[in-house]
């Protein structure tokens, strides 16, 4: 029983990271109607920024750590906005296949840049979490797990409040439904899309720090698998839906952790994707996805 509980907690923690990444996919999809396949690689770049700050520049204690975290998040934010400006904005009216291929191109570009600078040998990321965690009965909960869950919950609450209760958040909702109608209300669509990329990428930055602190091996391909899993989580929850991405991410993490523990660690990914297929067969729009009938 206590081991079940600890697998569950691990799953929730991993799932929170997926959820943070999935938020970026789902928000960008909702607003720009594109799958930003480079999103996972933004995470990897965030990891390297923090790694460089902590291990190369030696910002490894106290204020230094906060500086490193700040640089990592800011770096991801700027990278996301830059990628949107340079690679996606010129394709605003292009067919979606062209945009998709561009996104895949950007993904490889980022991986290759990291390969060029940092080489292919994995780096050992030292955790930025300074807190040792605690035990409940026999169950040991690591500091990383506690921080990951706490940070994710705070971010999700903050994001929900932002989207539903601020002008910029409302503008995002409006653009995601109807760009033309949003413009008629006075919403600047380009600025809203930039803002969405900024938020999504900053969340990727947070996710990267949490991910690398828990799973410390950092390589140019570090972002790929979590990226795909988070994308799966976004689809699972209903792509375009913010609560869907949160729920989808957590469920995915829990399924992965439990199937690793009780079924097979080799098959856990197959099980995760199998569950996705079943959910999509039963409810093609995902758990929280909704499609309203248009009225004439």
Residues that bind another protein (CB under 8 A): 167, 170-171, 173-174, 177-178, 180-189, 290, 292-296
Q: Which is nearer to another protein, 104 or 177 (CB)?
A: 177
**Minimum separation from the CB atom of position 162 to another protein (A):** 15
Angstrom distance (rounded) from CA 84 to CA 186: 22
State in angstroms the smallest separation of the CB of 156 from another protein: 19
| Phi and psi angles of residue 44, each rounded to the nearest 5 degrees, phi first | -60, -45
53 versus 182: smaller Cβ distance to another protein: 182
Q: Which of 56, 103, 61 is nearest to 80 (CA)?
A: 103
Output 149 or 174, the one with its CB closest to another protein. Answer: 174
Question: Which of 27, 147 has the CB closer to another protein?
Answer: 27
CB of 188 to another protein, least distance (A): 5
Q: Closer to another protein at the Cβ: 116 or 296?
A: 296
Q: How far is the CB of 160 from another protein (least distance, A)?
A: 14
Question: 199 and 192 in contact (C-beta within 8 Å)?
Answer: no
Distance in Å, CB of 233 to another protein, minimum: 21
DSSP per residue, 128-174: ------EEETTEEE-HHHHHHHHHHHHHHHHHHHHHHHSHHHHHHHH
Do the strands 123-124 and 217-218 form a parallel or antiparallel pair, or are they unpaired?
A: antiparallel
């Amino acid at each position: 029983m206590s081991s079940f509980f600890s697998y569950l907690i691990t799953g929730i923690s991993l799932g929170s990271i997926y959820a943070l990444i999935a938020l970026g996919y789902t928000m960008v999809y909702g607003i720009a109607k594109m799958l930003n396949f480079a999103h996972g690689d933004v995470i990897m770049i965030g990891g390297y920024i923090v790694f460089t700050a902590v291990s190369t520049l030696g910002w490894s204690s106290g204020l230094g750590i906060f500086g490193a975290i700040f640089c990592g998040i800011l770096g991801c934010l700027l990278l996301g906005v830059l990628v949107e400006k340079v690679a996606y904005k010129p394709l605003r009216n292009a067919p979606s296949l062209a945009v998709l291929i561009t996104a895949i191109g950007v993904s490889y570009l980022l991986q290759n840049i990291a390969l060029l600078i940092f080489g292919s040998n994995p780096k050992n990321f030292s955790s930025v979490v300074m807190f040792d965690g605690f035990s409940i009965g026999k169950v040991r909960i690591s500091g990383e797990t506690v921080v990951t869950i706490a940070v994710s919950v705070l971010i999700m609450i903050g994001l929900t409040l932002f989207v539903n209760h601020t002008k910029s958040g409302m503008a995002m909702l409006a653009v995601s439904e109807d760009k033309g109608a949003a413009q008629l209300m006075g919403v600047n669509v380009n600025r809203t899309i930039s803002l969405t990329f900024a938020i999504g990428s900053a969340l990727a930055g947070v996710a990267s720090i949490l991910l690398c602190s828990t799973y410390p091996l950092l390589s140019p391909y570090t972002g790929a698998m979590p990226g795909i899993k988070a994308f799966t989580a976004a689809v699972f929850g209903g792509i375009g839906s913010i609560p869907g991405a949160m729920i989808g991410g957590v469920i995915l993490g829990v399924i992965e952790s439990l199937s690793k523990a009780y079924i097979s660690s080799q098959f856990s990914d197959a099980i995760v994707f199998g569950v996705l297929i079943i959910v999509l067969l039963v409810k093609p729009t995902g758990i929280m996805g909704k499609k309203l009938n248009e009225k004439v």
